[in-house]
Amino acid sequence: MEKRYFGTDGIRGRVGSHPITPEFMLKLGWAVGMAFKRQGQCRVLIGKDTRISGYMFESALEAGLSAAGAQVQLLGPMPTPAIAYLTRTFQADAGIVISASHNPYYDNGIKFFSVTGSKLPDSLELEIERLVDAPMDVVDSADLGKVARVEDASGRYIEYCKSSVPTSTSFKEFKIVVDCANGATYKVAPNVFRELGAEVALIGVQPDGMNINAGVGSTDLKALSEAVRKDGAHMGIAFDGDGDRVLMVDENGEEVDGDELLYIMALDLHQRSQLGGGVVGTLMTNLGLELAMKEQGIPFVRAKVGDRYVMAELRERGWILGGESSGHMVCLHHTSTGDGIIAALQVLKALQRSGQSLAEARRGMYKCPQKLINVRYSPSQDSLLDNPELQAAVQQAEQRMGDSGRVLLRLSGTEPLIRVMVEGADGAQVEKEAGTLADKVRSLFGAS
């Protein structure tokens, strides 16, 4: 069955537009409570990022869950991976994250985790959708769910992050600028790095409900790059609004993306005979990472775009390391989902072991020129990528690129965007072909 509400990363959209409304969230909370209650008693954790609408949706979900008889524990502003971890360690039936990740403040969304700290299976998401569309009733007053706040959630997660590196670890030789995107990591991330000895400067740690991801964080590295150069720091670390992504800048202020971070971690694990298999990337992963893995004798496979697909591929193969260019890093030997802080710690430890700077470590991987252009379209349009005129344009671009490049068009799972990606050996040709295809997409489907 096709899902009506769930996308590749939960339910997401503009606040005030269906389904991101208080009414829907009330019903969604009830549906989640009913779906999990059928397996016995139901206890649900709720966390959120810093966007202003989180308070409204937290209350609506809380009311719906209580109406279904579910017990609720509130975590407050916490990174998405922290909620996955706490759901697992509290042995709660489900964890709910109120966040639109890297999106602007006027968007919001809902993500779910199971008792294992992993995303919900499709069958359970479909059951929740079925219940959302069913009549809502309320349990007897004596059976209504109670709500409590978890007071030590941040401390628990900080210690968990620190446990992902050896207990003797000290990063006192590193001067780091940390950019928390005015989002969910603004409290915990600075403490993690400071408690491990690093000298830490901060940006993006003054959330006001509306400045999340605004000119800071992993979606906009300009401020971080300037801060690293100005402070003479060894590197900068940028998280997105909910903390499941991480990107870096090196000591020269140059961006280090998810593919390069994945390369650094994979090489470190491989050299210590702890990789235990290969590496999973996505259709968007730069060809340079694939070639670098081949050179090291490390198996490499591509999954569909989305951390849940990376995770599924890792679990199927019994591997531990995968990620996306955007900064979703999955380290299954430490955590059950993508975790920006834990991934950053693994990169720092790899640099410490190798004695290299971040700029030196990234040079081991040559990145093929790649151009990604996002084109916004009207959400009412269907079957966009099957359009014959667009398919013909893609085939023509592929013929011109030959064996020296590749073309990929896909729909975003979280926003009404068509992502146009071209990659190849010739940077000028890559730019030209990407621009031509993006123009074609705009002429056919571009939002007014």
**Is there a contact between 279 and 290 (Cβ–Cβ < 8 Å)?**
no
- Note whether residue 98 is domain-resident: yes
Burial 64-94 (b: 16+ CB within 10 A, else e): bbbbbbbbbbbbbbbbbbbbbbbbbebebbb
pLDDT for res 38: 76
Q: Are 76 and 180 contained in the same domain?
A: no
**DSSP-assigned beta bridge partners for residue 420:** 373, 409
Q: Are 377 and 340 contained in the same domain?
A: no
Query: What's the chain's average pLDDT?
Result: 94
CATH code assigned at 438 = 3.30.310.50
The total of structural domains in the chain comes to 4
Which residue among 111, 128, 153 closes a domain? 153
Q: Are 261 and 249 contained in the same domain?
A: no
Q: In the predicted model, is pLDDT for residue 380 greater than 90?
A: no
- Note whether residue 303 is domain-resident: yes
- Note whether residue 159 is domain-resident: no
- Note whether residue 338 is domain-resident: yes
Q: In the predicted model, is pLDDT for residue 87 greater than 90?
A: yes
Nearest to 120, CA basis, from 129, 341, 150: 129
Question: 305-352, pLDDT tens digit by residue?
Answer: 888 899 999 999 999 999 999 999 999 999 989 999 999 999 999 999
- Note whether residue 224 is domain-resident: yes
- Note whether residue 346 is domain-resident: yes
Q: Are 214 and 104 contained in the same domain?
A: no
CA atoms within 13 A on the CB side of 384: 24
Q: Is 101 a catalytic residue?
A: yes
Q: In the predicted model, is pLDDT for residue 447 greater than 80?
A: no
Residue 244 assigned to a binding site: yes
Options 53, 66, 99, 101, the catalytic residue: 101
Q: Are 392 and 441 contained in the same domain?
A: yes
Q: Pairing relation of β-strands 370-376 and 417-424?
A: antiparallel
Q: Are 187 and 111 contained in the same domain?
A: no
Helix, strand, or coil here: 247?
strand
**Is there a contact between 183 and 241 (Cβ–Cβ < 8 Å)?**
yes
Q: In the predicted model, is pLDDT for residue 6 greater than 60?
A: yes
Which residue among 338, 367, 396 closes a domain? 367
Q: Are 319 and 352 contained in the same domain?
A: yes
**Is there a contact between 422 and 433 (Cβ–Cβ < 8 Å)?**
yes
Residue 101 assigned to a binding site: yes
User: Can you point out the beta strands (E) in 24-64?
Assistant: 43-48
Q: Are 270 and 374 contained in the same domain?
A: no
Which residue among 208, 227, 254 closes a domain? 254
CA atoms within 13 A on the CB side of 372: 14
Q: In the predicted model, is pLDDT for residue 37 greater than 90?
A: no
Residue 257 assigned to a binding site: no
Band (382; pLDDT cuts 50, 70, 90)? low
- Note whether residue 22 is domain-resident: yes
Q: In the predicted model, is pLDDT for residue 448 greater than 70?
A: no
Q: Pairing relation of β-strands 43-48 and 94-98?
A: parallel
Q: Are 99 and 65 contained in the same domain?
A: yes
pLDDT for res 119: 85
CATH code assigned at 203 = 3.40.120.10
Cα gap 132→121, rounded to integer Å: 17
Cα gap 244→263, rounded to integer Å: 18
Give residue for tokens 């899902």. 3
Cα gap 186→49, rounded to integer Å: 10
Mean pLDDT value of segment 380-408: 87
Q: List the domain range (segments joined by +) for residue 388.
A: 370-445
Percent of the chain with pLDDT over 70: 98
Mean pLDDT value of segment 359-367: 94
pLDDT for res 122: 87
Question: 292-310, pLDDT tens digit by residue?
Answer: 999 999 999 999 988 889 9
- Note whether residue 222 is domain-resident: yes
Cα gap 297→301, rounded to integer Å: 13
Question: 95-144, pLDDT tens digit by residue?
Answer: 999 999 999 999 999 999 999 888 888 899 999 999 999 999 999 999 99
Strands across the sheet containing 246-249: 199-203, 175-179, 235-239, 246-249, 255-256
Q: Are 351 and 379 contained in the same domain?
A: no
Residue 242 assigned to a binding site: yes
Cα gap 418→210, rounded to integer Å: 26
Question: 239-250, pLDDT tens digit by residue?
Answer: 999 999 999 999
Q: Are 61 and 93 contained in the same domain?
A: yes
pLDDT for res 381: 67
Q: Are 142 and 181 contained in the same domain?
A: no
